[in-house]
A and B are shown apart, each in its own frame.
Chain A
Amino acid sequence: MADTGVIVKKEVKSLVFEKTLILAIIVQLLIASFSSLIVIGLASFFDPSSLSNYDTPRANVGIVGQGELRQFIEKSQVNPHYYRDVDSALVAFYNNKIDAVIVIPKEESGGNEIINLVIYLPKSDIRGTFVTLELKKPLEEYEGYVRDIRGERIGFEPIKLYVDNIPKKTSTYFEFIFGILIPLLVFTPVFISGGLIIDMLTEEYERKTMDLLLVTPVSFSQILSGKMITAIIIVPAQAFLWLLLVRLNGVVVHNIGLILLLSGIIGAIVVIIGAIIAVKYKKRMISQYLYSLVLILMFLMGYLFTNSPFNLVTRLSADSIGAQALVYCGAYAAVAVVLYMGMMRFQVSGADSGNPE
């Protein structure tokens, strides 16, 4: 055990000496400084309607044709301008006087035919995005209105629930921050540590220093464990730093202790897998390549089922699950133990016995 401790100390020292940890922290700060930006960018990517929370100027919309839709548009956020025909409206559109043109057909809500609207929008233009968002609401109201009239014919009853004063907020930000951002931040150190253990081991092989280490009284399993422990303990430490940065951005994260525990356990699984690959292939190029492939696979699987590590972090941080999460932590810890035992049995015992102690 003491020998393992020596290895841990040596590895931690070399991490600090090479300033790699510092570079990792710079990466973290860089991403954190991006993060508010990433939140806006990705969230709008995720759900464009969330952009409508921003104060935008009232869009000017050209309207051609009569119809009930006019009333809904007049009540909404956009400024309507009326035109006789499509051509004159489009002239105004090309001259940047209006940002969209709506052509309302003759069909009425009481009729039987489908109501086909035509909307012209500026391509690849932020104004097109905003006008779309502003038009969405009156259009939806209009659809609801027509549906109320026509739905009776087929006996459709919508589900109706009531609430006192509806707050004007979308769920996008909340779901993005807790569903995507926080799990990603918590598990980034895990991915890094998996790569780190490969670097630590393959470097000893390629510099041929592993042989030197093995003539010391330290056994191969102790070297391996020492390196793995180093790689694993920095996972919760980095994850904690992440959560701190998130907190500074104004997001309250619950159950931090449990999240760090889970990140450590998943870190152990990934580090053991990395070590297995590195011990087997001994070359950095191949090991890192295979590890990246395995990582993609694990990453995808993390999104495939409820109670996956990603999902658990989401629910823990949003306070949707409490101590029950320990059950799943236990299950993942069992996976880590099985992997460790497997590695010790198939990879290490052979190497250890080959080493005269």
Chain B
Amino acid sequence: MSRIFTIARWELRKTKSSFSLKTRFFSFIILILIGTASFFAAQSGLHINDNIYRVAVTDASLAGVLQSDAKFEVYIAGEGGAKSLFENEGIDILISGDKIYYHNTEKSISALDALDKAIKKYDEARLLSYNDLNNTFPVWINIKNIAREQAFQAPSINKIPMNMTTQAPETGAGQVPEEDSHDIKSSMEPVEPDGSVPVTEKQGTNININIPEKTTENIQIPSIREITENRIISPINEQNLATPSHFNPSIPFKSVVLSFIFIFPIFFIAQFFSSSIMDERIKRKGELLLVTPASSYQIVLGKLLPYLLGSIALVAIMTFKLGGSPWIILTLLPVSLMFLSTSFLGAIIARSFKELSFVLIFLSVFLSGYIFFPAMFANIHAISIISPITLVVRLLENETVSISDYMFSTLPFYLLSILIFIFGIFIYREEDLFTQKSIKEKLLDSIQEFIKRVPAPLFSFSIALLPLVFSIQLMLIVLMFNFPIRIGILLFIIVAAFVEELVKSIGIYTVFSRKMSDVTTGNALKFGILSGIGFFAGEKILLLVVIASITGSAFGSVMGIGLLVFPLLLHVTSTTVASLGMRYLGYREYLACVVLASIVHAAYNLYLVRSVVFG
């Protein structure tokens, strides 16, 4: 333990000394400039689409209206002149008198819609100037968002053969007597877990029985000042009171932007971490540490500690300053670990700074997609909680996050980052750090180390890689939601099968290609069976822990919830296909073997969900 702290202290001193006074001063100046620039951006708006549309008008007073919107470049001309501009000069819209002409092109049609919006906005601004709310904005909507049990997918999806213990939530709700006209509290009771239908724990806790208060008393009409201010600050409506033109689905725009700011320090610190490790490799200073009695895991943990604590501290400071809930720190901890672990692995496998940059860009594009894309749908769809950022957004919106939500979205991050660290530490040794081995060779090295060190290697290896498979599959689910549902499921089945087969057989590939055992039919069979059983066992454990909340979806059933015997047979069979393939085709044909195994695997899953995919 004390060795870890000693190394941590060294690391801290080294990083500190890199930041000269001049550097700190320079970065301070840039930060001030960034602050100023964002202030201007907030004041004058972003000039994204300035002058994107070109409009010709004959009426000069109308030109004033259009110039209130920067999107339009306005040309004033006589009737004939404007017409020739419109016909020959690529002008998108012609307004001759009070008649509008447009081309039948995408741009011109968009310009028409933008024109409509601009005029509406102009009219609303004029209405506001009357200072008479009752006659200018006569209709107000008081929006009350109430949590209720959510059907996970469109009802048609629930026709798939599902397993015995869980049931689609709607069936439970359907049995409530319809004409029940008591107060809401009593009518809610049948939906509680003590009802006739087993409802999983998560769904039970999700029902937040908020008896809406008596409606009409607590409506407060904001002053005109408030409305106008709202319009400037939040173009996307977030408050609970709106006029019809500002009645939009609640999208937590500000919170998502805010959560993005939280990620910045995490990202920077991960950069420092990877730079520091790469730096030692390039200057070969790390060799000295390796010959000390400190073991490689002590060295890595020691180096990690200051960066991890630093990013937690920065997040804590920001949370405190922005007035967020302290739970945000806990929610961002796994994210921080994830960024640090991928940077660590990147720094170990890269051969040069350039390669490190590209590896890190690649990983962070992937990671940012995984954490931010679902967060945009934080208020829209339940699947969005696969990203911890969604939880941050919810916390920022002062909503509650349950323990099971936390587990569901952060457990894959914890497991995966620990896994990455372990595999990285395996190759934190001279022959991998200070040689020009290719990325693939280094990854195989770490797998080889795993197989050497761990008992029942192939069995455990499949289990160990499960968090990775799980995270990739969750990401796939999010992607597939954007395709038409049948194609989405089909693609998901194929890609998911490929990922699983790859993970199950990569250990066998390592054993064969590194000559760790003889390539015989017997061995191939044995390894295939071991690896398949391992994956199956790990899958079931993981599912028990986290997956309860997506059992209602078709994707969930593809991910392996369901009967026990067939999945076991499936995993064993398909892995054996890959392993025997390597035995007979040679391990150089590894990719072909995995594809073959994936076909077997996908075919089984397709058969399971045939009713959804093929109607």
Contact = CB atoms under 8 A, between A and B. Distances in A.
A229 to B, nearest CB: 16
Contacts of B191: 94
Interface in B228-268: 236, 243-245, 247-251, 253, 256, 268
Given A199-B354, A304-B37, A119 B244 contact: no
Given A125-B150, A175-B114, A203-B282, A117 B139 contact: yes
Interface in A14-36: 14-15, 18-20, 23-24, 26-27, 30-31, 34, 36
Contacts of A114: 133-134, 137-140, 221
Given A95-B176, A124-B378, A284 B47 contact: no
Given A94-B188, A166-B112, A319-B90, A308 B47 contact: yes
Contacts of B150: 122, 124-125
B611 interface: no
Contacts of A126: 380-381
A199 B147 contact: no
A266 to B, nearest CB: 16
B275 A27 contact: no
A30 B365 contact: yes
B225 interface: no
A341 interface: no
A5 interface: no
A200 B354 CA distance: 7
A241 to B, nearest CB: 15
B223 interface: no
B482 interface: yes
Contacts of B54: 320
Contacts of A318: 52, 107
A250 B373 CA distance: 23
A42 B256 CA distance: 12
A76 interface: no
A81 to B, nearest CB: 11
Interface string A114-129: 1111111111111011
B165 interface: no
Contacts of B362: 23, 26-27, 30
A2 to B, nearest CB: 25
Of A105, A109, A123, most buried by chain B (CB within 10 Å of CB) is: A123
Contact of A120 (B144, B187, B249, B250): B144
A136 B248 CA distance: 8
B27 interface: yes
A253 interface: no
A93 B53 contact: no
A261 interface: no
A308 B462 CA distance: 52
Nearest to A204: B353
Contact of A311 (B47, B113, B114, B378): B47
B369 interface: yes
Nearest to B19: A286
A88 interface: yes
Contact of A290 (B26, B95, B170, B379): B26
Contacts of B30: 290, 293-294, 297
B47 A119 contact: no
A11 to B, nearest CB: 10
B125 to A, nearest CB: 11
Contacts of B182: 87
Contacts of B27: 289-290, 293
Interface stretch (A155-163, A332-340, A347-355): A155-163
Contacts of A18: 351-352, 354-355
B130 A286 contact: no
B148 interface: yes
Interface residues of A, number: 127
B518 interface: no
B482 A40 contact: yes
A41 B146 CA distance: 24
Interface string A224-246: 00000000000000000000000
A133 B249 CA distance: 7
Contact of B135 (A88, A154, A174, A178): A154
A87 B184 contact: yes
A153 interface: yes
B157 interface: no
A115 B147 contact: no
A297 to B, nearest CB: 5
A285 B272 contact: yes
A288 interface: yes
A21 to B, nearest CB: 8
Nearest to B145: A123
Contact of A314 (B49, B130, B352): B49
Interface string A317-335: 0111100000000000000
A109 to B, nearest CB: 7
A304 B47 CA distance: 6
A301 B37 contact: yes
Contacts of B134: 112-114, 150
A122 B148 contact: yes
A170 B40 CA distance: 29
Contact of B138 (A87, A143, A160, A294): A143
Nearest to A196: B354
Contacts of B148: 93-94, 96, 122-123, 125
Given A203-B353, A285-B18, A41 B112 contact: no
Nearest to B351: A18
B146 A147 contact: no
Contact of A30 (B23, B52, B244, B366): B366
A91 to B, nearest CB: 5
From A88, A124, A133, A199, name the one whose CB has the most chain B CB atoms within 10 angstroms: A124
Contacts of B482: 36-37, 40-41
Contacts of B377: 41
Given A20-B354, A151-B135, A304-B37, A319 B248 contact: no
Contacts of B356: 199
B357 A199 contact: yes
A146 B479 contact: no
A49 interface: yes
B100 A285 contact: no
Interface of A: 14-15, 18-20, 23-24, 26-27, 30-31, 34, 36-38, 40-42, 44-45, 48-49, 51, 84-88, 90-97, 103, 105, 109, 112-126, 128-129, 132-133, 135-136, 139-140, 142-143, 146-147, 150-151, 153-154, 156, 158-163, 166-167, 169-171, 173-175, 178-180, 192, 195-196, 198-200, 202-203, 206-207, 281, 283-286, 288-290, 292-294, 296-297, 300-301, 303-308, 310-311, 314-315, 318-321
Query: When A and B form their complex, which 10 residue pairs have the shortest distance between CB atoms, in order from nearest?
Result: A285-B275, A199-B353, A174-B110, A139-B244, A171-B110, A123-B145, A171-B113, A129-B249, A163-B100, A300-B37
Interface of B: 15, 18-19, 23, 26-27, 30-31, 33-34, 37-38, 40-41, 44, 46-54, 62, 65, 70-71, 73, 90, 95, 98-102, 106-107, 109-115, 117, 119, 122-123, 126-127, 130, 132-151, 170, 173-174, 176, 178-184, 187-188, 191, 212, 215-216, 219, 221, 236, 243-245, 247-251, 253, 256, 268, 271-272, 275-276, 278-279, 282-283, 351-359, 361-362, 365-366, 369, 373, 376-382, 479, 482
6 contacts: A45-B376, A117-B139, A121-B144, A154-B135, A297-B34, A306-B50
